[in-house]
Chains A and B, each alone.
Chain A
Amino acid sequence: MTTQTDIPPAETGGARRSWLREHSELGVCALLLALGVLVLTDALTMDVDIAQRGPVGPKTVPIVVGAGLLVIAALLALDVLRGGRGQAEGGEDIDLSEPADWRTVLLLAGVFLGAAVLIEPLGFPIAGALLFWGAAFALGSRRIDRDPLIAAGLSLVTYTVFNNLLGVPLPGGPLMGVL
Chain B
Amino acid sequence: MDAFNSLLDGFGTALTPINLLWAVTGVLLGTAIGVLPGIGPAMAVALLLPVTYGLDPIGAFIMFAGIYYGAMFGGSTTSILLNTPGESAAVVAAMEGNPMAKSGRGAQALAAAAVGHFAGGLIGTLLLVALAPTVAKLAVDIGAPDYFAIMVLAFIAVTSVLGSSRIRGLASLLIGLTLGLVGLDQMTGQQRLTFGSLQLADGIDVVIVAVGLFAIGEALWVAAHLRRRPPEPIPVGRPWLGRDDVNRTWKSWLRGPFIGFPFGAVPAGGAEIPTFLSYVTEKRLSKHKDEWGKGAIEGVAGPESAASASAAGTLVSMLTLGLPTTAVAAVMLAAFQQYGIQPGPLLFEREPDLVWGLIASLFVGMVLLLALNLPLAPVWAKLLRIPRPYLYAGIMFFAAVGAYAVGGEVIDLVILLIIGLIGFGMRRYGLPVLPAVIGVILGPNAEQQLRRALQISDGSVTGLVNTPFAVTVYAVIVLLLVWPLLRKAVTRDRAEAA
Question: CB of B185 within 8 A of chain A?
Answer: yes
Are A48 and B223 also in contact (CB < 8 A) when A89-B427, A109-B417 are?
no
Asked whether, in the complex, the Cβ of A93 is within 8 Å of the Cβ of B227, the reply is: yes
For the complex, give the distance between the alpha carbons of A109 and B410 in Å.
15
> Which residue on B lies nearest to A25, using beta carbons?
B429
Q: Mark B425-457, 1 if CB is under 8 A from A, else 0.
A: 101111100000000000000010011101100
Q: Mark B383-422, 1 if CB is under 8 A from A, else 0.
A: 0000111111110111011001100101001100100110
Question: CB of B224 within 8 A of chain A?
Answer: yes
Asked whether, in the complex, the Cβ of A140 is within 8 Å of the Cβ of B427, the reply is: no
Question: Could you tell me which residues of chain A, from 51 to 89, have a CB within 8 Å of some CB in chain B?
Answer: 52-58, 61-62, 65, 68-69, 72-73, 75-76, 79, 84-89
Question: CB of A8 within 8 A of chain B?
Answer: no
B417: A residues at CB distance < 8 A? 109, 112-113, 116
For the complex, give the distance between the alpha carbons of A140 and B185 in Å.
45
Question: Could you tell me which residues of chain A, from 139 to 158, have a CB within 8 Å of some CB in chain B?
Answer: 139-141, 150, 154-155, 158
Interface of B is mostly: helix
Question: Could you tell me which residues of chain B, from 52 to 100, have a CB within 8 Å of some CB in chain A?
Answer: 53-55, 78, 82, 84-86
For the complex, give the distance between the alpha carbons of A42 and B192 in Å.
7
Binds A, one of B5-13, B160-168, B470-478: B160-168
A94: B residues at CB distance < 8 A? 221-222, 225-227
> Which residue on A lies nearest to B222, using beta carbons?
A93
* One of A50, A65, A112, A137 near B181 (C-beta < 8 A): A65
Are A141 and B397 also in contact (CB < 8 A) when A28-B425, A50-B189 are?
no
Binds A, one of B171-179, B268-276, B300-308, B357-365: B171-179
Asked whether, in the complex, the Cβ of B174 is within 8 Å of the Cβ of A32, the reply is: yes
Asked whether, in the complex, the Cβ of A132 is within 8 Å of the Cβ of B393, the reply is: yes
Q: Mark A146-179, 1 if CB is under 8 A from B, else 0.
A: 0000100011001000100111111100000000
Shortest Cβ gap from A129 to chain B (Å):
9
Interface of A is mostly: helix
For the complex, give the distance between the alpha carbons of A43 and B177 in Å.
14
- Among B165, B170, B221, B400, find the residue whose CB has the most chain A CB atoms closer than 10 A: B400
* One of A105, A154, A166 near B51 (C-beta < 8 A): A166
Asked whether, in the complex, the Cβ of B427 is within 8 Å of the Cβ of A88, the reply is: yes
Are A101 and B224 also in contact (CB < 8 A) when A55-B454, A170-B404 are?
yes
Asked whether, in the complex, the Cβ of A169 is within 8 Å of the Cβ of B228, the reply is: no
A158: B residues at CB distance < 8 A? 397-398, 401
B390: A residues at CB distance < 8 A? 136, 141, 150
Asked whether, in the complex, the Cβ of A93 is within 8 Å of the Cβ of B389, the reply is: no
* One of A111, A134, A141 near B387 (C-beta < 8 A): A141
Asked whether, in the complex, the Cβ of A76 is within 8 Å of the Cβ of B181, the reply is: no
Question: CB of B458 within 8 A of chain A?
Answer: yes
* One of B164, B193, B410, B427 near A119 (C-beta < 8 A): B410
Asked whether, in the complex, the Cβ of B220 is within 8 Å of the Cβ of A92, the reply is: no
Question: CB of A122 within 8 A of chain B?
Answer: no
Asked whether, in the complex, the Cβ of A28 is within 8 Å of the Cβ of B165, the reply is: no
B171: A residues at CB distance < 8 A? 28, 32, 72-73, 76
B interface with A by C-beta (< 8 Å): 37-38, 50-51, 53-55, 78, 82, 84-86, 164-165, 167-168, 170-171, 174-175, 177-178, 181, 185, 187-190, 192-193, 216, 218-228, 230-231, 387-394, 396-398, 400-401, 404-405, 408, 410, 413-414, 417, 420-421, 424-425, 427-431, 447, 450-452, 454-455, 458-459
Q: A42-B192, A65-B178, A128-B401 are in contact. List 18 more A-B contacts (CB 8 A).
A: A32-B171, A57-B188, A58-B190, A62-B192, A72-B174, A93-B38, A93-B391, A104-B223, A108-B396, A109-B420, A112-B417, A119-B410, A128-B400, A136-B390, A139-B393, A166-B54, A167-B54, A168-B51
